[in-house]
Amino acid sequence: MKTLCVLLATGMLSTLPALAAPPAYLDDRSTATSLVKSFYNAVNRHEYARAYSYFAPGAAPRPYAQFAAGYADTAAVKVATGHEQSEGAAGSTYTTVPVAIDAVSANGRHSQFAGCYTTRLADPSIQDPPVVPMVIFSAKLHAARGGIRSLLGNCSAD
């Protein structure tokens, strides 16, 4: 405590890194890549209800309580994304995004995952209120090993 008081008095506290500062809030559904990054932003901020809300109804990998519990030991997640591929079908646009993830547990252990997210955007011009924004339609990830950028694949192969 005495050290903290000295640091505050001398102004040196401002030079210390912000170790526990959460990342800035990101909620962007303008592109599939932005949606995936927003999902992981919510995970990094431990806002699991917000992360869960990015999935289409019925598309989440498991019920909310299990989903949130699955991230209980996660300290941080880095995500790399590849090139989006989109196609239209019956009034919706489906976009696949290759991803590679490096998850760090609370004890500092790294785990990598790779795969693809598919998003869905129902044509807003044909929707009635409430308009449904872009959502995660499916996520297919598998355990992987290596550098995060080297793990990016091609979703058309999945």
First to last CA, the chain: 55
**Other beta carbons less than 10 A from residue 156's beta carbon:** 9
pLDDT of residue 93: 96
Considering the domain boundaries, does residue 4 fall inside one? no
Considering the domain boundaries, does residue 115 fall inside one? yes
Containing structural domain, residue 40: 27-157
Mean pLDDT on 124-151: 93
Total domains in the fold of the chain: 1
pLDDT tens string 83-115 = 999 999 889 999 999 999 999 999 999 999 999
The pLDDT of residue 126 is above 50 = yes
Considering the domain boundaries, does residue 15 fall inside one? no
Considering the domain boundaries, does residue 111 fall inside one? yes
What CATH code is carried by the domain that includes residue 54?
3.10.450.50
Considering the domain boundaries, does residue 62 fall inside one? yes
The pLDDT of residue 117 is above 60 = yes
**Mean pLDDT (the chain, rounded):** 88
Mean pLDDT on 65-69: 97
Task: With cut-offs at 50, 70 and 90, classify the pLDDT of residue 154.
Answer: confident
CB 31 within 8 A of CB 81: no
pLDDT of residue 20: 62
Considering the domain boundaries, does residue 128 fall inside one? yes
Strand partners, 117: 97, 139
Considering the domain boundaries, does residue 83 fall inside one? yes
Considering the domain boundaries, does residue 20 fall inside one? no
**Of 108, 106, 99, which is closest to residue 144 (Cα–Cα)?**
99
